[in-house]
Structure 1
């Protein structure tokens, strides 16, 4: 199992002069530092962080992981950053957006699955969130921000089996520069590559996009 953390973006909606993955939680850890720690505690030994915006700040604070650089981070989105992170990987891959704060149980649950998985929160389904729908067999049939009557929110952590990593890379290569990686998952689903949701609603998990998200994260992870 390898983990890829997507931390290349500018994070303009949060309005910080530094990468938002370096935002410090009440516990004293950065968001990224907490992610790295929890991955290692769960048994992930190879962690790849995809960087772009002010990459040196991230690399200096967290020197003990591997790095991939997205040189066009300023005109691309997470689909292309994930494509950078997947290069030459031949193992099961767990990946997460670099602004997601989560409990240990989230990563443990995702790692324990034996299939391609999208971690979801069935309790949340706002306009801004990435939403999903499933069929009668519990497989995901659609995943995007524009879905109406979604079954819940895709929280930004996912896993693909080693056998499907090449298909994921091909799907991401098809994406437009500004597409989120979920667009690549849609291409895979259309090509009959199965993904199932994993309900992590019982755990704390939040993606920090806006100042109100950061305020909520500080309260949620106060200790």
Structure 2
């Protein structure tokens, strides 16, 4: 298995915090956010990582040069005019087998990844928090008998069964199907939509998409200064910080 880390975004809502660095390099504890993701991948035996860069990509590339990993950097030069579906599209030209999708702005307990890593469903599997109280902004899902039926921010909170947290496992049997639907969605809706639209397109075509729950373990997506503070002072203390890099 390989990993694809999407790290092209500008992080405009974080203001001065991301003026000179990408969100992936925001300090959490004593380390940049991406350190914890890379460390988790290493501990699960994943050494081949494709990173899609955009805003201040050279800074991220320089930081990651200190890790003993097989990195391939793919630059999204249109990051200011596209959304993460285009970054995923660029990355998929470089995957050779099954892979993980990880949003670079997510801080998560390492065991959340272990759960999805050990999942044996031979399809697309989404990491879902079915404990958190949901609002309007979250990427929500509806689930029936362990199968994800719908994914969208437009699902009313009281009709949702959880939130997709930005970590997915793409089984090798599903790679070609996902690429087909990423292309199909961009042809129909353009390059400014979320890649989850491709997941929905797969579901609409009859492809079964499964979920692996986070089981109440802490995680957070960092989009705003308040998210950053919560990551540093509420979530991080509940995540054991690995030693090393």
What is the TM-score with the length of structure 1 in the denominator? 0.95
Matches within 5 A, 1:140-219: 140-148=148-156, 149-174=159-184, 175=186, 176-219=190-233
Give the Cα separation in 1 of the matches to 2:35 and 2:115. 20
Aligned-residue offset at 1:4: 0.5
2:136 corresponds to: 127
Give the Cα separation in 1 of the matches to 2:94 and 2:88. 12
Moved over 2 A (4+): none
Aligned-residue offset at 1:14: 1.2
Conserved 8 A contact 2:131-2:216: no
Q: Mind listing any 5+ residue stretches in structure 2 that lack a counterpart?
A: none
Q: Deviations over 1:122-141 (max 9, x none)?
A: 12222111000022x32111
Aligned-residue offset at 1:168: 0.8
Give the Cα separation in 2 of the matches to 1:152 and 1:211. 24
1:37 corresponds to: 39
Q: Mind listing any 5+ residue stretches in structure 1 that lack a counterpart?
A: none
Aligned-residue offset at 1:201: 3.4
Deviates more, 1:182-191 or 1:194-203: 194-203
Give the Cα separation in 1 of the matches to 2:203 and 2:96. 21
Larger radius of gyration: 2
2:63 corresponds to: 61
Give the Cα separation in 2 of the matches to 1:7 and 1:76. 13
For residue 78 of structure 1, the aligned residue among 81, 84, 107 is 84
Give the Cα separation in 2 of the matches to 1:71 and 1:163. 30
Conserved 8 A contact 1:90-1:165: no
Aligned-residue offset at 1:194: 1.2
Work out the number of aligned pairs and report it.
221
Q: Deviations over 1:128-173 (max 9, x none)?
A: 11000022x3211100100122111111100111111111111111
Aligned-residue offset at 1:90: 2.9
Give the Cα separation in 2 of the matches to 1:129 and 1:122. 12
SS in 2 for 1:94: strand
